[in-house]
Amino acid sequence: MKHIVIGGIFVLLLIAAMVGYKFMDDASLTASSDSGNIRATVNIGVDSWAGYSVICSTEMRRLTLEREVLVKCKDDGADYPGRMAKLRNGDLEMAVATVDGYIAAAEAEDYPASILFVIDESQGGDAIVANINVAKNTNDLKGKQGLRITYTPDSPSATLAAQWANDFNVPINDPTSFTIIDSNGSSDALQKLQNGEADVAVLWEPDVSKALANSNFVKLLGTENTKNLIVDVLLANERYIKSDPEIVKIITESYFLALHYYNSNPVEFEKAIMDYTKVKSDQVAALKDGIDWISLPRNAAEWLGINHGSVKARRQILSTIDTAVRLLVNSGVFADNPLPNGNPLRIINSTPFTEVFTAAMNGQLPVPFQAVTQVKDTSVTRKFKKLSPGRWTKLKEVGSLRIEAIRFKTGTAMLSPERQESFVKLVEMLATYPHYRIKIVGHSGRRGNKQANMDLSKQRSLTAARWLMNEFGIDKHRIYAYGVGNQNPPVRQPGEKKRAWSARWPRVELILVGD
């Protein structure tokens, strides 16, 4: 019995010692280990989007630790409001976000952080997919009732759905036309589409590729044909930028060195993506191909407007912010521009990036970076190759853009002055879809001579085309204008009176088309 008691006391003392060691004062452990050399810990709010795999990678961690900085990625499950609150109160020094997500969620926190640089842009990683028996293009959905669309709320899928609905006049918020079914991620949305629970689904890779492998589904719109829409950025608390500028520079430099490493080692890149997202090896290629990671030189030349040499840099981040604000206002999230004084520069701080870029161009970083020698033109004025009329007829229709009624003086092809403003808003939309060509289709009223209506509708389409070319610099080879008289009346809305419907017949329609 005595031996049992003594043994029990020994076990209790051993357990107590182990517990005491486990909960030893952290300062004591730090002082007796290499962790005592860490001069800063940077907490970064993230979620599981594959674009963030570099910033949370082992290579990024290695590079920052060499500079005595510890990076901790804090996955909050895409809780943007919570992420913004933590940025404000200092629980996070940095965070990742889509541009529109930041503008929407950070307004309540008075925009506590600034954009440091662009991480990536979705270029095919997200898409709207439909059952081909329901629609082969976006226009096929218009005028129908009882349709069902599914996507993940508060995600890039929701952004893509809102932009698509707004720009192509798809009434997804009209309960007589659509029922919105929330999905728990892209895989859940795909399952709902495959099971017939939804007619349309907004997906991200690898689920886009999985859906399109089945001939029963068709892509209505993919981000490979959009610009300045789903753009991810790294944010830093503005107070932190001012108090610890050197640490912010270390994070910036280490990130681009890590990205350079992975771009140079594609096998390691895919492994990093798989480690971060938990996707399978047969899915990672499609996922990677749908994301355009923006390098250090491209950030400078294309996104942040930092000139180097003879290259005239662009500042696409401003266009992205403008697109996001327009979407948020048009979709009713905000009544007006929510940015302080409506100024997009208020949420950008490119100073740390500029210092790192300058060091890179002066050969002061561990690896060489090649400056961009030519900035690709993705503006509305970019040039297109000439197509024959026969080739135009073979292009795939995407959908008709939402435009305010473009009116002409009765019986003429003269544009009413008060309607010229419609073209300004139209060009703003076209900036989001720089790769598509435009069919301009003129329509006449219900009555009148058939040939006269045909001629008049063609002249009206040509008037609209000249306005786009002469006033806004749209390339002539991007446009194909023609008239159809009164052969294609507008879809009559449920409950619409005949007189109101007839008034909508004379119009100009702009249809986006692509290969």
**Tens of pLDDT, residues 178-199:** 999 999 889 999 999 999 999 9
Q: Does residue 19 register a pLDDT over 60?
A: no
Summary count for the chain: helices (H), strands (E): 19, 15
Q: Does residue 171 register a pLDDT over 70?
A: yes
- Where does the pLDDT of residue 29 fall: very low under 50, low under 70, confident under 90, or very high at 90 and above? very low
Instruction: Give the contacts of 121 (CB within 8 A, at least 6 positions apart).
Output: 223, 227, 228, 230, 231, 232, 291, 292, 294
Average of pLDDT values for 141-159? 92
pLDDT of residue 376: 77
pLDDT of residue 405: 67
pLDDT of residue 469: 94
Type and span of the H or E element at 222: strand 217-222
The CA-atom distances, in angstroms, between 327 and each of 8, 49, 252, 439 are 69, 22, 30, 24
pLDDT of residue 17: 46
The CA-atom distances, in angstroms, between 308 and each of 237, 470, 505 are 28, 32, 52
The residues pairing with 511 across neighbouring beta strands, listed in sequence order, are: 400, 439
Pick the closest to residue 434 from 329, 337, 324, 319 (CA basis).
Answer: 319
pLDDT of residue 7: 52
pTM for the complete prediction? Answer: 0.85
Instruction: Report CA torsion sign: 149, 508, 456, 491.
Output: positive
Average of pLDDT values for 469-490? 92
Q: Going edge to edge, which strands form the sheet with 200-204?
A: 178-182, 147-151, 200-204, 126-131, 217-222
Type and span of the H or E element at 274: helix 266-277
d(CA 107, CA 242): 21
Structure-block tokens of residue 221 = 């719109």
Asked if residues 121 and 299 have their Cβ atoms less than 8 Å apart, the reply is no
Q: Does residue 514 register a pLDDT over 80?
A: yes
Q: Does residue 70 register a pLDDT over 80?
A: yes
- Please write the tens of the pLDDT for every residue from 369-407: 998 988 877 778 889 999 999 999 999 999 999 887 676
Helix axes 99-106, 156-167, angle to 10 degrees: 100
Q: Does residue 316 register a pLDDT over 70?
A: yes
Question: What percent of the chain clears pLDDT 90, i.e. is strictly above it?
Answer: 72
Place of tokens 């009148």: 448
- Where does the pLDDT of residue 120 fall: very low under 50, low under 70, confident under 90, or very high at 90 and above? very high
- Where does the pLDDT of residue 423 fall: very low under 50, low under 70, confident under 90, or very high at 90 and above? confident
Lowest-confidence pick of 171-185, 288-302, 470-484, 500-514: 500-514
Quickly count: other Cβ atoms within 10 Å of residue 391's Cβ: 12
d(CA 35, CA 23): 17
pLDDT of residue 417: 67
pLDDT of residue 26: 43
Kindly write down the DSSP assignment for every residue of 359-402, as one continuous string. Answer: HHHTT-SSS--PPPS-----STT-------HHHHHTSEEEEEPP
Instruction: Give the contacts of 234 (CB within 8 A, at least 6 positions apart).
Output: 55, 94, 95, 96, 115, 116, 117, 119, 252, 255
Average of pLDDT values for 453-460? 92
d(CA 45, CA 63): 19
Give the pairing of strands 40-46 and 437-443.
unpaired
Average of pLDDT values for 240-246? 98
Question: What percent of the chain clears pLDDT 70, i.e. is strictly above it?
Answer: 91
Asked if residues 122 and 221 have their Cβ atoms less than 8 Å apart, the reply is no
d(CA 69, CA 71): 7
For the chain, the helix, strand and coil percentages under 3-state DSSP, each to the nearest 5: 45, 20, 35
The conformation of residue 301, written as its DSSP 8-state character, comes to I
Asked if residues 135 and 200 have their Cβ atoms less than 8 Å apart, the reply is yes
Q: Going edge to edge, which strands form the sheet with 437-443?
A: 396-400, 507-514, 437-443, 479-483
Type and span of the H or E element at 119: strand 113-122
Q: Does residue 317 register a pLDDT over 90?
A: yes
Mean pLDDT, all residues of the chain: 90
Phi-psi region of 163 (alpha: psi -120 to 50; beta: other; left: phi over 0): alpha
pLDDT of residue 259: 98
- Where does the pLDDT of residue 35 fall: very low under 50, low under 70, confident under 90, or very high at 90 and above? low
Asked if residues 392 and 439 have their Cβ atoms less than 8 Å apart, the reply is yes
pLDDT of residue 394: 94
pLDDT of residue 420: 65
d(CA 230, CA 324): 9
35 vs 410: which has the higher pLDDT: 410
pLDDT of residue 34: 59
Asked if residues 236 and 218 have their Cβ atoms less than 8 Å apart, the reply is no
52 vs 425: which has the higher pLDDT: 52
Place of tokens 């007189």: 499
The conformation of residue 309, written as its DSSP 8-state character, comes to T
- Where does the pLDDT of residue 18 fall: very low under 50, low under 70, confident under 90, or very high at 90 and above? very low
Asked if residues 151 and 204 have their Cβ atoms less than 8 Å apart, the reply is no
pLDDT of residue 16: 47
Instruction: Report CA torsion sign: 102, 104, 107, 109.
Output: negative
Asked if residues 483 and 457 have their Cβ atoms less than 8 Å apart, the reply is yes
Instruction: Report CA torsion sign: 69, 75, 80, 81.
Output: negative
- Where does the pLDDT of residue 360 fall: very low under 50, low under 70, confident under 90, or very high at 90 and above? very high
Structure-block tokens of residue 243 = 């108090």
- Please write the tens of the pLDDT for every residue from 378-388: 778 889 999 99
Q: Does residue 273 register a pLDDT over 50?
A: yes
pLDDT of residue 457: 92
Lowest-confidence pick of 44-58, 105-119, 444-458: 444-458
- Where does the pLDDT of residue 5 fall: very low under 50, low under 70, confident under 90, or very high at 90 and above? very low
Q: Does residue 63 register a pLDDT over 60?
A: yes
Type and span of the H or E element at 345: none
Q: Name the burial class of residue 28, with classes exposed (0-12), middle (13-18) and buried (19+) by CB atoms within 10 angstroms of its CB.
A: exposed
